[in-house]
Structure 1
Amino acid sequence: MTPMKRNPALLAATATALALAALPPLTTAASASPSAPGAQALDWKKCAGTTVDPRQECATLRVPMNYADPDGEQIGIAVSRIRSENAGARRGALFLVPGGPGGSSLNDPSGKGQKLPQSVRDAYDLIGFAPRGLAPSTSVDCGLEHGDLALSKLRPWPAADGSVDGNMDTARRMADACAANGGELIKHISTRNEARDLDRLRAALGERRISAWGVSYGTYVGAVYAQLFPQRTDRFVLDSNDDPDPAKVSRAWLAGHERGVEDTFPVFARWAATPGNPHRVADTPEEVRARFLRLAARLDKELLPWPGANPPELNGNVLRQTMLDSLYDPDDFPVLADLMLAAEQGTLPPAPPAPPEAVLQNVAAVGAGTLCNDIAWPTSTALYQEGVTQSRAEFPLTAGMPRNAMVCAAWPYKAQEPPVTVTDRGPSNVLLVQNERDVATPLSGARKLREALGRRAVMVTVDSTGHDAYLDNGNACGDATVSRFLATGVRPATDTYCR
């Protein structure tokens, strides 16, 4: 296996690259009658390419670039669908809301949508989309330096000595590039605007209400949609949930990795210490942890050349980033174990393949625009240094990264609107599903979303490890609970635990 096989950013970028071939070029609105009064008509066509289900159709939705000027410049949102498999059982449309920010669900009706049970596929048209800014929707690009596309740069790992000065320099360089190359669109990429785009899509589909399955960052999109348009929601599943703290928003998501790694690494350590495991790292879980920390510290001082990688070396932070990526899915534990064993011997496997640079540029720009436009980040180097120093002491595995400065610390634009505060006002039609051990969206953050939604929601906590619970890294009990809700509307009466 190659390192970072299931890295979420690489997966999102790869999916976006595939989606580029799945949709015809952006077109103007169709001339047919709109599906709802004042709504745009969608000109559905067969999707291009051979990687999608032949039933999947594609279209382009036109939306305002700036919702404060709804009659101004319009942009295209690439959308897709597979119709309900039983017209007599059809209930409505199920929006597949991707993670990220920077992820696409354009091919999800053909992909993970087909993992849904027949009762759900009968009940809904499955709807995918590429969020604003993400190709093949009208796209954005910051023109970042190649080195700044490295995951160990996009995640703000501090210097080996804990200094954040280099991170602040990187933030300024990336922000300047986005200001120079991002155009007007990058100012208008935000979660609030994505939710508005989805409501435009709802209207274009002629639906009075929509259902949704939002995953990871998509849970925040779903929660924001449900806050802005509560009466337009039907059955909402939020899977692997983000902390909605309106005072921090994306800063809380980054900070959550401290707890997420500590929740999940012990599972890896037990696996890596299991007798008979061909990827065994040490004799005990405690030794696995100690060995990882020693190796990362050694690589901080003595990097190993890694031709073809970005950066072209294995240093302590690249190892830590590989650790973070590998904990998303227990199937990827061997990636981290094998890299540790190889690095200790001074040899490395071939560098992991990367998507085309144009795709990485696009994904990075959409991510930066969303994270930085949703909320204003602090600009004080001293504040970040204080947080990183404290985090390094309390959570050595993540070495201070979760409290460090990203590009948003130097973002050149002011947030045009305040963050959305998620509340309990609205219909009680939300089901949260959450793995107990999730490196990216830890249970502690999910509980904050559950608290914010109050009477509107019920949460199913799943005794499982990994990111993405429903039909992926959860368990049969959790999957059955979510499927029943989507198919019938029946939720548990109270919060429940799926052992």
Structure 2
Amino acid sequence: MRAVLLFTLLTPLVLAHAEGLRFEPHTFHAKDGRTVETELGSLTVPVRHARPEGPSLTLRFVRFKSTNPTPGAPIVYLAGGPGGSGIDAAKYVRHDLFLALREVADVIALDQRGTGQSTFHAELSHAWSVPLDSPMDEAMLTAKVKASATEAAKAWTAAGVDLGAYTTVESAEDLESLREALGVPRLSLWGISYGTHLGLAYLRRHADRVDRVILAGVEGPDDTWKRPAHAEALLDRWDAVLRAKDAKGPGLRARLRTLLDALGRRPRAVKFTDSKTGAERTWMATRFDVQRLVFESMRDPATFQRFLMLLPALEAGSYELVAPFAAGFRDGAWAPMSVAMDAASGISPARRARIAREARTALLGNAVNAGMVEAAWLPGVVDLGEGFRGPLKARTPVLMISGTLDGRTAPDNAEALRPGLSNAVHLVLEGAGHDGLFQSDPRILERMKSFLRGEKLADERLQLPPAP
């Protein structure tokens, strides 16, 4: 009788969510010209889940129906960023992954709130820039970012944007609303980069509603701000790679230190032609500029290899070839979702202190966190606090995937979650960067499918073939 009564009490809530769910037949067009028949879904959810009677927004997603006659829990793809579109991810290089995982269950390409087709306000952006012909350091960039982000937040609020509704917690509750509306007992989550941050938030809040989780390029609850020590460790790996090819050379770290020390003593005025306008511009190259250039290049092996090809020119004093790239790090455009999400996730006092200690001796300093926005700068945004960032415990099966040459999400991030994830396995890809965590080797997809089918996996290191 109690079970029947409980079901009776819960049913209106489920139906209320389901009333906002709509599907329509949809021919999905991949960017390479292929098409597949899918369903285009939309779901109405509260802007603030604590205020269900308040304003609402519409989430949109594409459902790739399973080819399995007895499908498992729906697999929801969580894009990175924050700000990435799940629907767009399914159109480009990951299209084959979405099709392949249909062997296990329905696969849902979700546009999170404020992204892609789920943007619930007029498209707003706010440009910012640091003068290119002025010497720039961390303090100057921080001051510019703070002023610009505060100005942007005020403009967005005046335009009717509830900036405080862009948090990972609200997005996690969007996932729960989606599960309820679909009428399924559990979801499987498949996230990359920021998508893992969101997946972990949902796991913390609704572990009993999660079947399985794939986390690639792990951004843990307190990993929004990056550790300088991780960038240093990656420089050491690249140093070892280069020394294996040239044991007699001075080594990468020594070469970079010489270059950075010279710029620290005297910034260089570099003239170059703007490819967009054709105008001649002057870039005042500083130590901080090049620290940022090195860090941004380490995102993936392919981008760092390109930087290494340009390094001899920099050492010879020729900065013209890198000027257009470095200049791009002095400006940008804010979008509400991406700015507010990271700001609300914030940083714990302990991690802030650790980053400060590491930055004092790191070759790249704190360039790894250049341009980070704080919640206190944004009217309407509230830091999610230590309850959000604290240790996470769950017995849910989790497959973590990391690349040893990933300059954004170090394998250490995944290992730090081990104590609380008692049923986790770690697939480490030797030689993979941030962009190669799914498709740099066909064995990765096979491990993913096996995991989602419920097969037992163990920790494993896969040596990837060298890039062509």
TM range (shorter): 0.7 to 0.9
Deviating more after overlay: 414-423 vs 89-98: 414-423
Aligned 1:74-473 pairs, distance under 5 A: 74-84=56-66, 86-116=67-97, 120-139=101-120, 143-147=125-129, 159-160=136-137, 164=139, 166-182=141-157, 183-244=160-221, 249=222, 252-256=223-227, 258-270=228-240, 286-299=250-263, 301-308=267-274, 313=283, 315-316=285-286, 317-343=288-314, 344-348=317-321, 351=324, 361=333, 364-375=335-346, 390-396=357-363, 398-402=364-368, 406-408=372-374, 410-415=377-382, 417-418=384-385, 419-420=387-388, 425-453=393-421, 455-467=422-434, 470-473=437-440
Aligned-pair distance for 1:221? 0.9
**Is 2:24 the partner of 1:44?**
yes
In the other structure, the counterpart of 2:466 is none
Q: Does 2:60 match 1:60? A: no
Moved more, 97-106 or 476-485: 476-485
- SS of 2:431's equivalent? strand
Report deviation, 1:284. Answer: 5.2
| 8 Å CA contact retained: 2:210, 2:396 | no
The higher relative CO (CA closer than 8 Å, separation ≥ 6) is in 1
Q: Once superposed, what is the RMSD of the aligned Cα atoms?
A: 3.8
- Report which of the two has the higher share of strand: 2
In 2, Cα distance between equivalents of 1:490 and 1:460 = 15
Determine if contact 1:470/1:482 at 8 Å carries over to the other structure: no
Matched residues, number: 428
Q: Distance in 2 between matches of 1:123 and 1:354?
A: 46
Matched residue of 1:207: which SS? coil
Contact preservation (8 Å) 1:239, 1:469: no
Q: 1:321 and 1:220, CA in 2 relative to 1: closer, same or farther beyond 3 A?
A: same
Q: Distance in 1 between matches of 2:217 and 2:129?
A: 30
Aligned-partner SS, 1:42: strand
SS in 2 for 1:122: coil
Pairing partner for 1:491 from 456, 462, 466: 456
Amino acid at match of 1:63: V
Distance of 2:191 and 2:29 partners within structure 1? 26
Q: For the structure 1 residues 48 and 434, does the alpha-carbon distance in structure 2 shift closer, same or farther, using more than 3 Å as the test?
A: closer
Structure 2 CA distance for partners of 1:318 and 1:392, relative to 1, 3 Å = same
Query: Which residue number corresponds to residue 4 of structure 2?
Result: none
Query: What is the distance in 1 between the residues matched to 2:203 and 2:355?
Result: 34
Shift of 1:97: 0.9
Contact 1:306–1:314, Cα closer than 8 Å, also in 2? no
Larger Rg: 2
8 Å contact from structure 1 (residues 134, 366) kept in 2: yes
The answer to which of 284-293 and 327-336 deviates more is 284-293
Q: In 2, are the aligned partners of 1:187 and 1:413 still within 8 Å (CA)?
A: yes
Amino acid across the alignment from 1:315: A
Point out the more displaced range, 63-72 or 417-426.
Answer: 417-426
- SS of the residue aligned with 2:86? coil
Change (3 A) 1:465 1:267: farther
Give the secondary-structure state (helix, strand or coil) at the position aligned to 1:212: strand
Question: Which deviations, in whole Å up to 9, do the C-alpha atoms of 1:365-417 show, x marking residues without a partner?
Answer: 32210111234788xxxx98x87874443211x22234667321523335275
CA distance in 2, matches of 1:413, 1:54: 42
Instruction: State how far apart, in whole Å, the 2-side matches of 1:285 and 1:299 are.
Output: 22
Taking the aligned partners of 2:233 and 2:354, their CA distance within structure 1 comes to 20
Q: Distance in 1 between matches of 2:365 and 2:124?
A: 28
Q: TM-score of the superposition, structure 1-length normalised? A: 0.73
5+ residue gaps, structure 2: 1-11, 464-468
The answer to whether the Cα contact below 8 Å between 2:156 and 2:336 also exists between their aligned partners in 1 is: no
1:205-226 per-residue CA deviation (whole Å, 9 max, x = no partner) reads 3332111211111112111111
For residues 369 and 416 of structure 2, what CA distance do their matches in structure 1 show? 19
In 1: Cα distance, 2:319 partner to 2:326 partner: 21
Where in structure 1 are there 5+ consecutive unaligned residues? 1-33, 153-157, 276-281
Q: Secondary structure at the match of 2:190?
A: strand
Q: Share of identical aligned residues, percent?
A: 21
Give the aligned residue type for 2:115. Answer: L
Q: Among residues 56, 71, 77, which one is paired with 2:53 in the alignment?
A: 71
CA distance in 1, matches of 2:359, 2:429: 29
Instruction: Calculate the TM-score normalised by the size of structure 2.
Output: 0.77
What does the per-residue CA deviation read over 1:440-494, in whole Å, with 9 as the maximum and x for residues that have no partner? 11122221122232x2423233333412564235x566554333112x211335x
